[in-house]
Amino acid sequence: MTKVTVIPSTKNQHTQLPLNSHTLRRVAAYARVSTLTDEQYTSYEAQVSYYKKFIQERNDWTYIDVYADEGLSGTSTKKRTQFTQMITDALEGKIDLIITKSISRFARNTLDTISFVRKLKDKGIEVYFEKENLWTLDPKSELILTIMASIAQEESRSISQNVTWGKRVSFQQGKVSFAYKNFLGYKKVDDKLVIDEDQAVIVRLIYQMFLVEGKTASGIANYLKAQQIKTPAGKTNWTKNTVISILTNEKYKGDALLQKTYTENYLEHKIVKNDGQIPKYYVENNHPAIVDRDTWDQVQIEMKRREKIGAHYSSTDIFASKLICGDCGGFYGKKKWHSNSKYSRFVYQCNRKFEKGKETCHTPNLMEDDIKLKFIEAYNLTIKDKQQILDDTNEVIKVLTDTVQLDHEIESLNNELNVLAELMNRLIIENSKVLMNNNEYENRYTELTTRYEQTKKNLENCIGTRKYKNDHAIKMNLFRDSISKFESKLSQWNGQLWMLLVEDATIYNNKPMHFKINHRISIGYDM
């Protein structure tokens, strides 16, 4: 007859400690508050104090530490440094028990909660959720924990949706939130946004250096750094990107583009650029402008011009990257002649003129005064009949801004894309339910996808045409406003007009010099 003898267990299967052991458990606590407001900071301090006292009052526990993160969301553990350190210490055998207020304080992400609890449990480390009265070494705990963690995650999703909805309603109503503390040029006085004139001087200087002096963003950053001028963050370490952000931010002309970014995943709090995935809202004249609209728009145009030129753009002076050789299409550059003699002087000549040691271009060299004189003549001839030019420009602007037909076509193509997508979806569903002839299915599917791609291409072309017309209209508006603003005849050199009006100037050999003015006029002069 088989005999079975029971050998009683002597250790706890989870903690690996002897049964009825009086070994002190090493205990730590985790606390977290969601924001950095004064009220929540008090809550944070209270939690730390509470858990320290709570642990030290137990005779069977040894106090290790209170790990606490401030001002962080619980939906992701990636940026919670204290939480991460606590888990590391526990897995290294420094902690036996972790106490936390609730599952939502520990993590609102179900996957994170279960994953970390399991890792700790495998090492015999217990977590106690005070609010739920849940001990994770209890065999029944995992099912309860999964349900409660899912509820906490759903609560986080709901809160995130409500916050997002609230923000979008505010956007639709044109309500602008302004981080003025880290925004150069503005401050709040009596709850109103006003221009900080001390800082606005710096903003206007940046725009002037870029547009009138032809400086690059890097060059401007280096100048500001050398002058020990403070950045929007109150530091002196200016960077190219900081300058570009100031030059491209529509808030400096008094407007505000809302919802430039959005949270793609509420669990990871991943913020991505809004490239059309969700609506944007543009609010005009929301607050006082530091730079006028014409200047701001001209800066954007100048940026695009420099992007096209790329690495060949030079900011050594205001003529750089605007003088073009009529023989080879290359840029003119500033050269110093007779540098070691009393005849030393600067001239402008084609950068490729003497490639490989021999003269390849026969376009003439120019002195700075030659260029200035020719521009003055070109300008004066251009606006000889100023009113006629303004009237013609207004007519061109009217044509460019009339996009009603294009808008109708874009709407129609969008509707067609939606219909084709639905037809493809129905075809796929039909094929899954009823086995269709393979050739018939392939032919129908190919026909629909071909139509879809062609319609999509037509839509992209229409959108591109509308953008081109809008961009060109902006340039024409700037041309008109510049002509209106300045005198009808120049008697002396004006560098600002040169930067605002001249797209480029082409120099020929034994042919007139041609100025291309704002994509509109080309005028020639004999050299």
**Residues 171-204 pLDDT 10s:** 555 465 666 567 888 888 887 888 889 999 999 9
Do 160 and 190 have their domain in common? no
Q: Are both 453 and 337 inside the same structural domain?
A: yes
Asked whether residue 314 is assigned to any structural domain, the reply reads no
- Render pLDDT for 425-465 as a digit per residue (tens, 0 to 9): 888 888 777 767 788 888 888 899 899 999 989 999 998 89
pLDDT tens-digit series, residues 203-257: 999 998 888 778 889 999 999 999 999 888 888 889 999 999 999 988 888 888 7
Q: How many domains does the chain have?
A: 3
pLDDT attached to residue 267: 46
CA-based nearest residue to 120, from 141, 136, 134, 106: 136
Intra-chain end-to-end CA distance of the chain, in Å: 123
Does some domain include residue 473?
yes
Chain Cα centroid distance, residue 73: 22
Q: What is the number of other CB atoms lying within 10 angstroms of the CB of residue 263?
A: 15
What SS3 class is residue 153? helix
195 and 117 within one domain:
no
How sure is the predictor about 131, in pLDDT bands with cuts at 50, 70 and 90? confident
Q: How far apart are CA 507 and CA 514, in angstroms?
A: 7
Q: Give domain status of residue 44, yes or no.
A: yes
C-beta contacts of 86-93 below 8 A and 24+ residues apart: 86/28, 86/30, 87/116, 87/119, 87/120, 89/28, 89/64, 90/28, 90/120, 90/123, 90/125, 91/119, 91/120, 91/123, 91/125, 93/123
pTM higher than 0.75 for the full model? no
- Residue type present at position 134: L
Residue 61 lies in a domain: yes
Q: Do residues 263 and 357 share a domain?
A: no
Residues 220 and 151 in one domain: no
- 139-154 confidence digits (pLDDT tens): 777 777 767 666 655 6
Q: Which residue has the higher pLDDT, 267 or 319?
A: 319
Contact 191/180 with Cβ under 8 angstroms?
no
Question: Would you state the pLDDT for residue 43?
Answer: 64
Domain of residue 389: give its range: 325-525
At 257, which CATH number?
A: 3.90.1750.20
